[in-house]
A and B are shown apart, each in its own frame.
Chain A
């Protein structure tokens, strides 16, 4: 595999509580963006029984072994890792589709994560929805978390619950250490927010009191990318969501890039009156 650094990699969990808000899309997009910038990245699917990260990454036909196989000692890590065909620094560790989530054990996950830490700069864990075993184990060994939420009441409520779990149930929290939390707001529709039909960025930040990592605008590019099995940051790097993910990836690396609230496409009334979005 090569490229092993002396320093241990950073473990990042992408989580949300609620399903369908964009965890898997964001895992793939951020992983590809970091790998594109020369980082050695593995994306790990924790959604045992409902794996989808392989599909979004376009590697579904190359899965041989999975996370559960490694935990059970059936396969070695190197046998299960799938190298991305587009980026040589990007790897996928798929979840099992046939087992249930009870096959994940705390000790087993700990060993796999520790091994991945020695081989990669970034270990990005794609959490399943909910707050049960798969989700708690995905966050258990994380150094940092990306909390994905839509500007919508149920996903904001669930994000608040997840933030509470990150602060109490992770190994870092139990040691009294600080876990870095980053809020990623996805499916943001600027024209609806401007009309007061959607929670604004300020509303969400005020309610959740969590530092903002980025704002991903609602875009057909996201569905398009998943249709063809490519992270949106690779499929169309110049698209609005891809650029927002690239900026978020830079912020994860500690770069100070100002966050710009997307203004999006102009609505009918705004076009009619020739106004710029607020």
Chain B
């Protein structure tokens, strides 16, 4: 070991980690460009089996954070539904940045 080794770390590890995260997102988008459209259709089909709502009153957003992405689903339920049918707050699903997505602790708020 010489003094030289103390200076070896450098910025390359940072570059490598940034690239890995970025490319995971990039590859997902290229391979599945209409991901949001597909998610919207399938999520609404599932929810529509249990609750009635206007498809126009649905907003789905894919957000990107440093190491994860978020999928926000905001569904407006018309008045006149039974109280227990009402989804009062937007529900969030985390998106792990690759292919799989899973629901978090956030449950339907009734």
Which residues from chain A sit less than 8 Å from chain B, CB to CB? Answer: 152-153, 156-157, 160-161, 164, 193-200, 203, 206-207, 269-270, 273, 275
B19→A164 contact, CB < 8 A: no
Given contacts A193-B12, A207-B20, A270-B4, list 9 more A-B pairs with CB under 8 A. Answer: A153-B15, A161-B30, A164-B27, A197-B12, A198-B12, A199-B12, A199-B15, A203-B16, A269-B7
Question: In the complex, what residue of chain B is closest to A197 when comparing beta carbons?
Answer: B10
Inter-subunit contact A196/B22 (CB<8 Å): no
Smallest CB–CB gap between A26 and chain B, Å?
A: 22
Interface membership of B2, Cβ < 8 A = yes
Residues of chain B at the chain A interface (Cβ within 8 Å): 2-4, 7-13, 15-16, 18-20, 22-23, 26-27, 30-31
| Residue from the list B2, B4, B12, B23 in contact with A203, Cβ < 8 A | B12
Q: In the docked arrangement, what's the CA distance between A257 and B24, Å? A: 32
Query: Are B26 and A157 neighbours in the complex by a CB distance under 8 Å?
Result: yes
Distance in angstroms between the alpha carbons of A15 and B20 in the assembled complex:
22
Q: Closest A-chain residue to B11, C-beta based?
A: A197
Question: How far is B4's CA from A207's CA once the two chains are assembled, in angstroms?
Answer: 27
Bound: A198/B14 CA distance, A: 10
Within the assembled complex, what's the spacing in Å between the Cα atoms of A200 and B9? 12
B19 and A200: CB pair below 8 A?
Answer: no
Q: Decide if the interface of chain B is mainly helix, strand, loop or mixed.
A: helix
B-side contacts of A275, CB under 8 Å:
2, 4
Q: B16, A199: Cβ atoms under 8 Å? A: yes
Across the interface, do A157 and B19 meet the contact criterion of CB distance under 8 Å? yes
Contacts of A198 in B (CB 8 A): 10, 12
Q: How far is the CA of A156 from the CA of B4 in the complex (A)?
A: 28
Distance in angstroms between the alpha carbons of A56 and B52 in the assembled complex: 67
- The answer to whether A269 and B4 touch (CB under 8 A), given A196-B9, A197-B12, A207-B19, is yes
Q: Chain A residues near B20 (CB, 8 Å)?
A: 207
Chain A residues near B8 (CB, 8 Å)? 194-196
A196 partner, pick from B11, B19, B31, beta carbons under 8 A: B11
Nearest opposing residue in chain A for B10, CB measure: A196
Query: Which chain B residue has the least Cβ–Cβ distance from A269?
Result: B4
Cα A203 to Cα B17 with chains together (Å): 10
Q: Is the CB of B10 within 8 A of A273?
A: no
Q: In the docked arrangement, what's the CA distance between A152 and B12, Å? A: 9
Jot down 25 A-B pairs with beta carbons below 8 A, ordered by A. Answer: A153-B15, A156-B19, A157-B19, A160-B23, A160-B26, A164-B27, A193-B12, A194-B8, A195-B8, A196-B8, A196-B11, A196-B13, A197-B11, A197-B12, A199-B15, A199-B16, A200-B12, A206-B16, A207-B19, A207-B20, A207-B23, A269-B3, A273-B2, A273-B3, A275-B4
Q: Are A196 and B16 in contact (CB-based, < 8 A)?
A: no
Say yes or no: B26 contacts A196, CB within 8 Å.
Answer: no
Residues of B within 8 A of A160 (CB): 23, 26-27
- Alpha-carbon distance A189/B70, docked complex (angstroms): 39
